[in-house]
Amino acid sequence: MNYKNIIYSCTNHVAEIQLNRPDALNAFNMDLITEIESALNTVKESPKTKILVFSANGRAFSAGADLIYFKSVLSNPKDLQKYIRKLNQVFFMIEQLPIPTLCVVQGFALAGGLELMLCCDVIIASRSAQFGDQHINFGLIPGGGSSRRLTERIGKQQAFELMISGRWMNSEEALKIQLIYKVVDDEELKDTVTEFTSNISSKSRASLSNIKTLINHSNYASRYDAISFENEMFIKYVSSHEDPSEGLNAFSEKRKPNFD
C-alpha cells in the first residue's frame, strides 16, 4: 500500500508506525485507520520484528476522531458502524500483536488518540504532553474501548472522573496515576525511545512474544489459572525452542547471546 496518512519503517528489528496528518492533528479518518491496519499486517507477518513503536508527526500525537469526517457519517448508521468496527478491529490488532508495542506521546493524546495509546503495552511521554478522554465535551461517549481500557489502566474512579469531566491532565499527573510508564524532557524523548527500543531489539523475539501472551492472559484469568498457564508455556517453550539454549550457552561461555 502507498501510505499517505502514516509513515512506516522497520530498522534493526524495530518497526515504527508514525501518524502523519499533522495539519489535522493526526485525527482519525477511515483512510488513516485503513493504513494503520495494513502496516500492522506487515508487522505481524515479519518474524524478525521485535517491537513496534507508535509515534506521530507534528505538534500532537492525536486529537482522536476527525470530527469533520465523523460528522459526515453521523447521519448514516451503516457508514458510522463501518467506521467504529474498523477502528476497534485495528485497536484489537495492536493489543494482539505477538510483540511488545511502545507508544511515544508528544503534544496531546485525546479521545481516540488516548484510546490508541491505551492499546499499547508501554507509553513514554514528553514532559509537555497532555491527555484526556474529552468525548463528553462534544456530547459524545467513547467508541474505541476507553470505557474498559482506561478503567483497567488507572482504576474505575480515576477513569470515571476523567470521562465525565472532559478535562486534560499533564504528563506528571498521568505518570502518578500510572496512565503512562515514563516522562522525559521534550528534548530527551527521541534518545530515550532509541535507548528503550535498542535494548528490546537485542532480546529473544520468542521470549518477548511469550511474555506478552502470559501478561495478556493473566489480565483475564484467575490467579491459579494464570500461573498454571505460565507453567505450561514455560515447559513447552524451554523444551522446544532454540533461544533458551542460546541464552544458557552464552552465559556459560561468558558472552552476549545472539537472538537474531
Distance (Å, whole) CA 24 – CA 74: 19
Any idea what DSSP says for residue 81?
A: H
Confidence band (pLDDT; 50, 70, 90) for 74? confident
pLDDT in tens, 17-56: 999 999 999 999 999 999 999 999 999 999 999 999 999 9
pLDDT at 211: 96
Q: What's the rounded mean pLDDT across residues 83-91?
A: 95
What SS3 state is found at 184?
A: strand
pLDDT at 65: 86
Confidence band (pLDDT; 50, 70, 90) for 58? very high
**Predicted confidence (pLDDT) at residue 212 exceeds the cutoff of 90:** yes
Compute CA 107 distance to the chain's CA centroid, rounded to the nearest angstrom. 17
Cell of 219: 489480565
Distance (Å, whole) CA 71 – CA 75: 8
Q: Is 178 left (phi over 0), alpha (psi -120 to 50) or beta?
A: left
pLDDT at 78: 87
Distance (Å, whole) CA 173 – CA 246: 42
20-29, 66-75, 107-116, 182-191: segment of lowest average pLDDT: 66-75
Confidence band (pLDDT; 50, 70, 90) for 12? very high
What SS3 state is found at 181?
A: coil
Q: In 1-20, which positions are buried (b, 16+ CB within 10 angstroms) versus exposed (e)?
A: eebebbbbebeebbbbbbbb
Confidence band (pLDDT; 50, 70, 90) for 80? confident
**Predicted confidence (pLDDT) at residue 6 exceeds the cutoff of 80:** yes
pLDDT at 71: 78
**Predicted confidence (pLDDT) at residue 230 exceeds the cutoff of 90:** yes
Instruction: Express as a percent the part of the chain with pLDDT over 90.
Output: 90
